[in-house]
A = this chain, B = another copy of it.
Amino acid sequence: MAQLRQVNLSTKELPDKWYNIIPDLPEPLPMPMGDKQIQNLPKMLLGECLKQEFSQERWIDIPDELQSIYAQAGRPRPLFRALNLEKKLGTPAHMYYKSEFFSPTGSHKVNTALAQCYYAKKEGFERVTTETGAGQWGTALAYGSAMAGLKCTVYWVRSVYNWKADRLDLMKMFGAEVYASPSNKTECGRKLWEKDHNHNGSLGIAISEGLEDSLNDPKAVYTLGSVLNHVLLHQTIIGLETQKQFEVFGEYPDTVIACLGGGSNFGGFAIPFLGDVLTKGKKIHFIAAQTAAAPNLQGEYKYDYADYAEFTPQLKMYTLGHTKDMVPVKGDGLRYHGCSPILSLLRNKGYIDTVAYPTDEKHVFESAKLFVRAEGWLPAPESAYSVTCAIDEALKCKETGEKKVIAFNISGHGFLDIPGYKSILGF
């Protein structure tokens, strides 16, 4: 064969452990704060996930059955060399992208949805509840629950619920019950819904509804799609596969890029490489691609709530403030006020760089179009930020002549987001 453009692993090479970076962090991870909320944690999180959340074990076994479920979801996923894109840009850089877009629901979120549904089933629950904003997490949980034979209830911020019809139908295909939030299904939702049946809702309100629903039903458990340590832990399978694939290519990244909202995608891709930096003396430039609508890594490093309604404990993190208003963008999954505590600590210690792209998203979608015409894969709007950052870095290499190896993650596909592309790019 001509030059190698893609490496996949055999199913047998699928990682059998997740990497927990907590014991390798440069200093202990600050604990959550708030007595009442912390007491509630065992009612809010799955038993196994709560254990993982504070584990000091460096490697945590992926149960055999869950490995098999990951394989059933198409893992391992290929790592691509972007030869066409390099040529089009005229860059001396070598560019590599990981293909989380092969996901059954369209994003990397399935990696933790499958894990949490596996544990929920094992721990005897019959139903999972959650909130969703952009819709990727709700779809992933709807899928995960169908695979595990669980019921699923999703509270979806009404302003998004109202226009993402195809994504809503996909959740229903998986058998999920989906409510526009605020709904009349919970006490906290009903109060708002009775005043205004068309209330736009917010992620904070939807979290409250998901939590209330599960707290009132002993057979149900609430699940989370980002920010927390165990969620990032489950996502490390992305970076662990990528490391093995780079060995086959015979290269190693100088720059690691992923988009960042709450941090599950960036963490999943970057944490195994951050581990190499912390424990093996590797030098890597990490860049989190963000939206100027929610540049949380440029916020303040302090204790703050993860939700609007202050149900959750306070976490030490980079935050814009948990009541911050953020303008809507097509990359809606990046619009979150705070960043995961693990990534926030590493940002604070100088390990993670960040860039935030303007909210008109023109540069982001034009870069994505360039990528589509060169490589053929249509990124989700959120993933388009990662693509943009990689292209910008490759163009810097063109100026300096540096032959950097640039690795970026494409967290999802954009087949359900083509109207978003059209609204920015015309056609």
* A interface residues with partner B (beta carbon < 8 Å): 1-12, 14, 16, 64-65, 67-69, 71-74, 76, 78, 80, 83-84, 99, 102, 104-106, 143, 146-147, 165-166, 169-170, 172-175, 369, 372-378, 413, 415-416, 418-419, 421-422, 425, 427
Contacts and interface: CB of A to CB of B under 8 A. Distances in A.
Nearest to A62: B1
Contacts of A170: 378, 418
Q: Which of A5, A7, A72, A372 neighbours the largest number of chain B CB atoms within 10 Å of its CB?
A: A72
Identical subunits present: 2
A10 B12 contact: no
Given A1-B11, A378-B104, A78 B67 contact: no
A7 B9 CA distance: 10
A10 B10 contact: yes
B10 A373 contact: no
Given A78-B74, A415-B416, A418-B169, A373 B68 contact: no
A8 B174 CA distance: 26
Nearest to A65: B2
Contact of A67 (B1, B65, B372, B413): B1
Nearest to A417: B166
A76 B8 CA distance: 9
A67 B375 contact: no
Given A106-B415, A376-B72, A416-B415, A8 B6 contact: no
A418 B166 contact: yes
Contacts of A106: 415
A242 to B, nearest CB: 15
Contacts of A80: 72
